[in-house]
Amino acid sequence: MQSQTVQLKAMSFNIRYGTANDGENSWPLRKDAVIEFIGDCGYDVIGLQEALCGQLEEVRSALPHYHFVGVGRDDGLTDGEYSAVLFDSRRVEVESSDTFWFSETPEVIASTSWGNTLTRICTHGSFRVEGLPFEFYNLHLDHASAISRLKSVELLVQRIRSRGATVPTIVTGDFNEGEADPTIALMLKSGFIDTYRALYADGPEQATCHEWTGAILGQKIDYVFVDGIVTIVDSGIIRENPYRGMLSDHYPVVATLAL
């Protein structure tokens, strides 16, 4: 007899850091739209990249049922960008969480290696949804150093496998690499499935970072990867919304999963 599955809706969303000088797209002018989108979208767990502490506090204040795990990358507390994991506490329960730095000393706060000048991190949480456990990792890889991106994913996979977990695992993030590049090839070789390509294998290149242009064709650098998932029910890239033309310079990437 087959055990009953539980559906979980996951998202990866680079919301663009709140102090960026983006003119008409600056955070104060789009924050209400972003918050309304998160509140209405119904996603259970969301990997946010580039979020600053103030942005997370504004989301939490407006949507108190959403909690988050994660720390600022610059001091391990509140300074610098987070790779936060936002989750709907009405349905999802967190059991433990941690953040590690992409470096040769991943437990050392603000450590860097491999040529990346900016600090890069991954936040991990062990969660349950309707009693079923799952692991969730959210990251933002370096934009400049290809070696850093590759070494970071090697570290990520090593840490995931060292846990010996047999539960469903989700990895979201801004990988800063397109689908044909080595870092993405390593994720796939390591057994992870790109949820978007699992359903749309033959489609054209799909831009996820449009740099405020609204472009739809180009490199897909934002991903929802999974391992140990029963079924990928649905996946997509959210480009249109009723709130404003562009919520961020990245499109949210989403997947509905059966655990």
Average pLDDT, stretch 152-164?
95
Average pLDDT, stretch 67-83?
98
Q: Would you say residue 2 lies in a domain?
A: no
Q: Would you say residue 118 lies in a domain?
A: yes
Domain count, the chain: 1
Query: Which residue, among 172, 157, 168, has the nearest Cα to 228 in the 3D structure?
Result: 168
The pLDDT tens digits of the residues spanning 107-128 come to 999 999 999 999 999 999 999 9
Q: Quote the tokens at residue 134.
A: 């799952």
8 A C-beta contact, residue 12 and residue 223: yes
pTM score of the predicted model: 0.97
CATH of the domain at 110: 3.60.10.10
88 vs 148: CA distance, rounded Å: 32
Q: Would you say residue 122 lies in a domain?
A: yes
Average pLDDT, stretch 30-54?
97
Residue 243 is given by DSSP the state S
Q: Would you say residue 1 lies in a domain?
A: no
The pLDDT tens digits of the residues spanning 179-229 come to 999 999 999 999 999 999 999 998 877 999 999 999 999 999 999 999 999
226 vs 170: CA distance, rounded Å: 5
229 vs 134: CA distance, rounded Å: 10
Residues 6 or more apart in contact with residue 223 via CB below 8 angstroms: 12, 171, 172, 173, 175, 184, 187, 194, 195, 196, 253
Q: Would you say residue 189 lies in a domain?
A: yes
pLDDT at 3: 61
At 57, which helix (H) or strand (E)?
Answer: helix 53-62
Q: Would you say residue 183 lies in a domain?
A: yes
Query: Which residue, among 257, 252, 8, 254, has the nearest Cα to 127 in the 3D structure?
Result: 8
Q: Is the pLDDT of residue 46 over 60?
A: yes
Which residues form the domain of 244?
A: 9-258
pLDDT at 187: 98
229 vs 125: CA distance, rounded Å: 17
Q: Would you say residue 233 lies in a domain?
A: yes
Q: Would you say residue 4 lies in a domain?
A: no
pLDDT at 204: 78
